[in-house]
Amino acid sequence: MDLERLMEINTLYYGDNLKILRKYIPDNSIDLIYLDPPFNSKATYNVLFKEPTGEPSQAQITAFEDTWHWGNESEQTFQKIVDTAPANVVEMARAFRAFIGKNDMMAYLVMMCIRLLELKRVLKDSGSIYLHCDPTAGHYLRVTMDTIFNVSNIISEIVWGYGTPSGGRTMGRKPVKGHDILLVYAKEYGKHTYHKIFTPYSDKYISERFTFVDEQGRIYRTRKREGGIITRQYLDESPGVPLSDTWTDIKQLYAYHLIKRKEEELGYPTQKPLALLERIVQVSSNEGDIVLDPFCGCGTALVAAQKLSRKWVGIDITHLAISNMKWRLNKIFPGIEYKVVGEPVDITGARELANENQYQFQWWALSLIGARPYGDKKRGADTGIDGYVYFMDEKEKIKKAIVQVKSGGVSVNQIRDLWGVIGRERAEMGIFITLEPPSKPMETEAISQGFYRSPLGKDYPKMQILTIDELLKGKKPDIPPWVSPIQAPPRFKQAKGISVRRML
C-alpha cells in the first residue's frame, strides 16, 4: 500500500504491529504517533466488556495481556537488533542485557526497541511521537527513546497528574499512584509541528490577580510596563495560562473505582480520557494529518483524531479490540468510512483464521453477531459457553441467549449439549455458530426445542444455528431487541448513511 493510498481513508489493522508497520506503512508517512504499550504482568489490557448492569464483568476476556517473557522469540529479536540497528542502539541493547539479564523486563525492552525503530522510520521529519508510560518501565523507555530518537530531539517529559481513585487512601507501604509520564520526541526538533495552547485560569488565580472592576463591570488586572506605564489586562481578553509540561486538569477514567465517566467509560482498565488524546492531537498535528496508534486498544486516539478532522491508522493484535473499535466509531460518527485490514471477508479467510488461532476465530465470530465473549477463568473447565447475547423484551428485565462457536466438525450431540447448558444457566435461547454446514439431524434437533414467546407476543426459535457463511452475508440471530455489550458513547457529529469498507 503506497503513501497516496494510505492517505485516502482511515484504516484499522488486525495483527502484530511490527509486521503491520513493515508491510503497510511507508517511510516518512505519519505526522503524529501516540502509543500506550502494555507492561504489567498482573494486569489485563483489553478487557472490553461489562455486564449489562454496567458493573465490571466477573467473566472478562483478556484480549491483550502482558505476555512478554524471555524465550526464543526474544532471543531472535535481540539478534535482529544487533544485526540491523544503528550502532548506538546495538550498544544500548547490549548494555541493557548485561545488567538487566534475560528476564521479562529485557524481553519487553527488546520488543519495544525493534518497534520504536520502525515507528521512527514511518514518522515524518515534521512529526512527533508520544510514548505513554508508568514507573514500571518508564526509566528504561526514556533511555531507549533517547538512543533511538536522539536526546537532542526530546520535546518534553509531560507529567499527567490525574489524581487518585481512592481519595488519598494508601495502597500498601507506598504513596498512591497519581500520575503517568508521556515522553515526547520529535523526528527532527525544530521542524516538528507544535501549536501553543492555553488552559483556563484557576478560580484562585483569578481571585488573587484580577482584582479590579471597571465602570462597565469588566474584570481586569494591572500590569506595569517598561517606562512605568500602567496597562490593564482584561480577564475576558486573556488567553489563559500557556500549557506547561504538568497536566493536572484532565482526570483519569477509573473504570473500577469511585469516579465514573459514564459517557466515555468502556470498562477498559487502562482506557485514557478523550480529553487527554484531544490535547495531544491538537498540540502536535494539523487538520488532515495522519495519526498512528500501534497499540490502539479501545481506540480513544482514533476517536480524538476523527473528531478533530485528522486521518488515522490503528493497529491491534486482537479481534476483540478491532470489533470494539468498529462499534465505537460507528456509534460516535455515523457515516464514517474506514478500512479494516486483516479480518476474514469470506469462508477461505475464516478457515485460515480458525487454523491460525482458535480463540481469535471465536472472538471474531462472536463479533459478527455483537455477542459478549465469555471467559471465566475462575471456573476453570469448559462450561460450554463461548459468549452471551443479552436482550430486553420487557421493562427493566435483561435476558440472555448463550452462544457457542465451532470451527471444526459438528454433530447433533453438540446441539443437545448446548440445550443442556441453556437449561443449566437458565437462559432463554441458544445460538450455535458453525464454520461447517450443519447436518439435517442438527437442524431437526434445533427446531424440536420450540419457541421462546416474548411478552410482546412474538415467537423466536429457542435454538438457532447460524453458519459463518450466512453471517458474512449479513444474516443475524432472530432475537428480541438486544442490549449492547458496551455502553454507547456520545455522538460527535451526524452523517448520512454508513459506509465501511473492508479489505484483506
pLDDT, position 40 = 52
**Minimal CA–CA distance to 243: which of 285, 280, 206?**
280
Residue 225 C-alpha cell reads as 510596563
Rounded to whole angstroms, the Cα distance separating 371 from 320 reads 11
What's the confidence (pLDDT) of residue 286? Answer: 97
As a three-state string, the secondary structure of 302-363 is HHHHHHCCCEEEEEECCHHHHHHHHHHHHHHCCCCCEEEECCCCCHHHHHHHHHHCHHHHHH
CA pseudo-torsion sign 83, 85, 86, 87: negative
Listed ranges 47-61, 132-146, 180-194, 195-209; the one with the highest mean pLDDT: 180-194
pLDDT at 485 over 80: no
C-alpha cell at 396: 427493566
Alpha-carbon dihedral sign for residues 479, 482, 486, 489: positive
What is the C-alpha radius of gyration for the chain, rounded to an integer number of angstroms? 26
Task: Pull the grid cell for residue 172.
Answer: 500498601
Share of the chain above pLDDT 70, in %: 80
3-197+243-341 shares its CATH topology with 371-483 = no
Q: Which three cell numbers stand for residue 457?
A: 407476543
Work out the angle at residue 258's Cα, subtended by the Cα atoms of residues 254 and 259, and round it to the nearest 5 degrees.
55
**Lowest mean per-residue pLDDT among 156-165, 230-239, 333-342:** 156-165
Greater model confidence, 493 or 321: 321
Residues present in the chain in total: 504
Q: Checking phi first, is residue 93 left (phi over 0); if not, alpha (psi -120 to 50) or beta? A: alpha
- Domain residue ranges of the chain, discontinuous segments joined by +: 3-197+243-341, 199-241, 371-483
DSSP state of 174: S
CB 321 within 8 A of CB 69: no
Contacts of 176 (CB under 8 A, 6+ apart): 164, 166, 168, 169, 170
Separation between Cα atoms, residue 240 and residue 243, nearest integer Å: 9
DSSP states of 139-170:
HHHHHHHIIIIIGGGEEEEEEEE---TTTT--
Report the half-sphere exposure of 18 (CA within 13 A, side-chain side).
11
Note the pLDDT tens digit of each residue in 359-403.
889 989 998 998 878 754 434 446 889 988 888 877 667 889 999
Work out whether the CA dihedral 331, 333, 337, 339 comes out positive or negative. Answer: negative
CA 74 and chain centroid, separation: 25
The CATH number of 3-197+243-341 is: 3.40.50.150
Q: Is it the case that residue 41 has pLDDT exceeding 50?
A: no
Given this model, what pLDDT does residue 501 score?
A: 34
- Strands (DSSP E) found in 367-468: 372-373, 387-394, 397-406, 429-434, 451-453, 459-461, 463-467
Grid coordinates belonging to 216? 462597565
HEC profile for 26-80?
A: CCCCEEEEEECCCCCCCCECCCCCECCCCCECCCCCCCCECCCCCCHHHHHHHHH
Whole-number average pLDDT of the chain: 84
Kindly state the cell numbers that stand for 98. Answer: 548485561
**Mean pLDDT of all residues in 151-168:** 83
Sign of the alpha-carbon dihedral angle for 60, 367, 350, 449: positive
Question: Residue 215: pLDDT above 80?
Answer: yes
59-77 as b/e, with b when 16 or more CB fall inside 10 Å? bbbbbbbbebebeeebeeb
Question: How far is the first Cα of the chain from the last one, in angstroms, to the nearest whole number?
Answer: 12
Domain range 371-483, CATH architecture: 3-Layer(aba) Sandwich (3.40)
